[in-house]
Structure 1
Amino acid sequence: MRIDILTVLPDLLKSPFEVSIMKRAQEKGLTEIHIHNIRDYSTHKNKNVDDYQYGGGAGMVMSIEPIARLIDKLKSERDYSEIIYMTPDGEVLDQGIANELSLKGNLMILCGHYKGVDERVRIKYITKEISIGSYVLSGGELAAAVLVDSVVRLLPGVLNDETSALTDSFQDNLLSPPVFTRPPEFEGMKVPDVLLSGDFKKIEEYREQEAYRRTKERRPDLLGEE
């Protein structure tokens, strides 16, 4: 999978992809992540990429021309399964969306900034709009990093234990059960006996029960309950 991210703040996006799982995924050749500075495609002397919005009002708007130049260039070089715009009014990211995108080929992600992008960008180019929650960030960069992380970790071979992603929270509309490691007892708090029993059938039953219990307590909406 190749992921191209379009932004006016490329430096903000570098570090999340230079460490841990994202770094290893690239080193293994399982994904390529390319960050493009939209300002490089501005024809203005000062590399401006925004302008006042028609009709007045506070906040600048990202201009269509530099974005269009960059998108057209990338599209001329390869096909993209989705061109995604990170926006508060998009579809809220969940595990299902991450699973779906992990099966795609090349992805392009546009990070909004200022008051947003000229609506004609969305009309002409965008195939999917995604939000990471009902709040506003200074730009789409951090949201894009969240999206990329949620997708890339699902690619085969990225995680050392390929079954790990399948047991993450939300994969079955359930939260993950509690997990424990050594020591077996700490300040009077003991690891549940069943996890030390070696009986994998009982362990699996325990984990399923705990996942359901935790979900019912903390996120009943995932079970269709209020």
Structure 2
Amino acid sequence: MHRRRRTALVLSAALLAAAPLLTACGSDAHPGAAAVVGGQRITFGQLQSRVSEVREAQRAAVPDEAQYQQAVASTGTLTRDTLHQMVLDRVLDRAARNAGLTVSRSEVQQLRTGLEQQAGGAKALEDTWLQRYGVPPQRLDDNLRLQVKAQKLATHLHTDAGQPAFWKALSEASADLHVDLNPRYGTWDVEKSTLVNAKTPWLRDVSASQNQQST
């Protein structure tokens, strides 16, 4: 069990560090797109829609204007962070598929149930994920699915996240997908990423819940 705890905690930190390193240049080969991943465009409209989901959820959660403005101020890089999350989601998904890994609905539900028990209910969990990580309620299951994938990938590779084998899998997935960001958002570099710019809700909270359930 101690190894499971270490794996989960390291995986959390490592994936937080997987937010892309912003550099001074980028590619302009795909005008009109915020990013192109695996030949598929993430349009500015799609990106803005995801950002709007977060802002609407924040507004609903904190109707007081002053509190809402504080929430907005605390997520001032939301657009950039959201795009980075959308790209990283696809990279992790490709890495999991390359390894032949899948995640069932029951696995996601099991994880969510444990987190809800820890948080004090479904609403409490949704509020926590929104406030801490900028994940709106309608995206929570998608996010938890990716967390399960990350855990299964590390287990499949017999390693911890942050170790060479794990990063190699993500690097290969990035290469497969030919990730290309619009210059305004920087460039994507999984291997050299060292700057944590996005709040990525991977396994920091999940690990505590799972360890409690396994004891």
More strand by share: 1
More relative contact order in 1 or in 2 (CA 8 Å, sep 6+)? Answer: 2
On whether the aligned pair clears a TM of 0.5, the verdict is no
- Where on the TM-score scale, by shorter chain, does this alignment land: which range? under 0.3
TM-score computed with the length of structure 1 as normaliser: 0.24
Q: Based on CA coordinates, which of the two structures has the bigger radius of gyration?
A: 1
TM-score computed with the length of structure 2 as normaliser: 0.24
